[in-house]
Every structure is written in structure tokens, then in C-alpha cells.
Structure 1
Amino acid sequence: MSGLFELPRTEVAPGAVHVPGWLSAAEQRELVVACREWARGPVPLRQTRLPGGGVMSVRSVSLGWHWQPYRYTRTADDVNGARVAAFPDRLGELGRRALVDAYEDEKAGEGYAPDAGLINFYDGDARMGMHQDREERSSAPVVSLSIGDSCVFRFGNTEGRGRPYRDVELASGDLFVFGGESRFAFHGVPKVRPGTGDPATGLAAGRLNITLRVTGLGG
């Protein structure tokens, strides 16, 4: 873990764990460089259009499988028709280590093989409404990594978008994993805190969120 003082690992809900400062400064810088490369394409960073006509305020790029509401495809038919970049092995390795550390179980990462990555970039005004990650056919945990500006991460229940929920401050380098009973909990980002990130990560402003998922789609 990075930083002078290590903050405690917290179980936010059954199966949902927050590990502050999990990524080292070097790992954060490496991921920022990689995200910039992934954002160039073959499918570039874009704002996703929702079925109702609205446009998401975050900008996104996918790896392995192209995500759009509410499905995965190999090609980005809503952008440029190109096949998305392959899911990198190093992210799979990072995901397995994340589960071991989050659940404090050496066997937690065994068999975990994420095949989709979703990278979201938030500027100071971007938000993410309460939603479930339900496009996957697998109930394997979701691994979420934060770099840059801090945010308020709202983690709710599996029944609906309203209460009960818990607001968690996610800072640069933090890990959040949700699986088990909390795998399909509603969650969102109601606020980003501009100016709270460390430029040493290579990200001068904004927040990067990298989520790793097992689609269960095969192929």
C-alpha cells in the first residue's frame, strides 16, 4: 500500500470491500499511461448514449468486450464498428491479486479470469447514476480501481436505487471489490472532488475508474 499511514480495509457490505491505497504510486502511473493508449482506440474514448436518448457524462472505453447499455459486443457498432482492444493479461493478474487482498484469502483469486474491462473518465462535473452491473452472465466479483481525484461512491442494496446505501470516499489508488451477496447491488458516483488527485500519478485532473468483470459470454 502507498502513503505514510495505511488506512484500514473495510467491509462495506457482505462481499463488498474497500481497500484504501491498494495501488502503489508506480502502478497508478503505469495504469494512467496504459489508459491513455487504450483511449486512442481502435475504439476511442467516447460518451455513451443511453437508450432513452440521454448521454452519459463520463467518457468510456472498453477492453475485451465493448459495453453499451445493456449488452456486450465484440465490435463497437455504436461508435465506429471496430473490434475493441484485447483484454490485457496484466489486468487479469491485477484482478486476481485484488481478490486475495480484499477478501484476505490466498485462494480468493483462483479461477478468476476477467475478460472485460471498462475504463471511465470523470471530469469535475461527471456523475454516475445508481445502477446494477447486470449485463454479465457471471456472478464473479467486480474489481474496481480508482486513480486521480477522489469521489463519493454510493453503494446500495440489491433491491432498488434508494436507501439503504452507504457513501464511501474513494481516493487515488483505492480498490473496491463487490461480489457474493453484494454482486448485484446498486451503486453510483454522485460527486467527484476536483483538485484532490496527485499530479504525480500522471493525471493532472479528473478521475479514472477501471473495472474488471467476468462476462461469462465465452467466445
Structure 2
Amino acid sequence: MMQRNVLIADVVDGRPQTSRAVTVNFSDFEASVPAITAKVVEALGQEETVVLIDNHGNQIVDCEGTRGSAFWKQHARKVSAVPEAQFELLRNNKRRRESRNEDTHDELRENLEVVSSTLKNLTKFIQDNPVTPPLSRRQIDIIKNAFTCIICTDLMKDPVFAECCRSLLGCRGCVDQWKQNQGYCPKCRGPAFDVHGHSVVGLDEALAALQLLLT
């Protein structure tokens, strides 16, 4: 027999809030969503059924990938149970967040396109006008700070932005390494950073121009 803990949660303000945990015993034959769900309900001593979800709030469905002990004996994989009646609230809130995130992506994409174009135009202007007065130290610092990796402190390479604080963070390589060891945003310390950090496409050329401008 094998064991695993299942977190018991209620949906509060559209998000699962854990109140306790139950331990279920199961055999390899019982390692499936229906069997684990039934064991959780039995452990709770109630008739109301529950829905099993992962740490992102997605329903764990019965399929080939979730059948067998290989899936269920991985204790690093957090499994929670929420009342079935509350799961629809969780799903609706998740859809609203995803819709807002998509709006944020569109807005950031537009802003980044403007920034990229401005940087390239500024660099071209300085190259075409060598007698142009140089930028002040304060102006240079403002530009460098906006595009400096928060982790390695160099100019960003393959930049990444975060939805949680709606700002550029740093190099893709630095951020990927950060995510392997930390679960929060390196800038605002927001949780669930693994789903909030995204690459920014189209800034590499502008950042290369910026490097020439600042050297």
C-alpha cells in the first residue's frame, strides 16, 4: 500500500484556501482519480463529492497519465480537493484572470513595441548626428536601469517580463535559473511566478542598439 496527503481547501475569493490535509492509502490498482476522490470523501466522512485540483487550480482528470502509482506517489506534486459545488467558482475566476492576463499581454506588447522603436530611432539619430550633445549621466542611468537584469545586473539578453508586477525582469537564462530555486517573483515577491514570467519577443535588436548607445 502507498500513501499520499491530499490538501482540503475551500474556494475563498475565487481561490483555493487550504484548511487541512487528509492521508489516503491506496494500492497500485486504486491509483486513479475516481478511486483517490472516493477515498478523500470517505476520509472526510461526508457525502458531498470533491474535485481534485493541481497547484494551478486545474482539475486533475482521469486519463492515462493520471492512472497508476507513478503519478500519485510523487509527493512533490501538490494535490488538493475542493467541494464540487465550489469548483465552478474556482474555474470561473481562473477564466477571468486569464482574460485579464491576455489584456495585459496585449498592452505590454504595444508598449514594448513603442519602446523598441524609440530606442532604435534614438540610436540612429545619434549615429547620424555625431555632434549631438551626449546624454547626461542621469539620462544614461535611467535608460540602463530600465533594461538591467534584476538578477545578474547586466543589460538584459532575451528579456522576460512578469505579469505580477507588470515590468521587465531580466535575462531569460537568469530568470529560468531563478525559477528552479524560487517560487516567487524576484522583483515584487509575488507567488506563482512559474506561470507569470514570459519572454518578450522583438526587443533583442533594440537592446543591441541600446548597448551601442551607452558605450
Shorter-chain TM-score: which interval?
under 0.3
The structure, 1 or 2, with the larger RCO (C-alpha pairs under 8 Å, 6+ apart) is: 1
The two structures have a TM-score, normalised by structure 1, of: 0.23
Q: Which protein has the bigger strand share?
A: 1
Q: Which protein has the bigger helix share?
A: 2
The two structures have a TM-score, normalised by structure 2, of: 0.23
Computing the radius of gyration from Cα coordinates, the structure with the larger value is 2
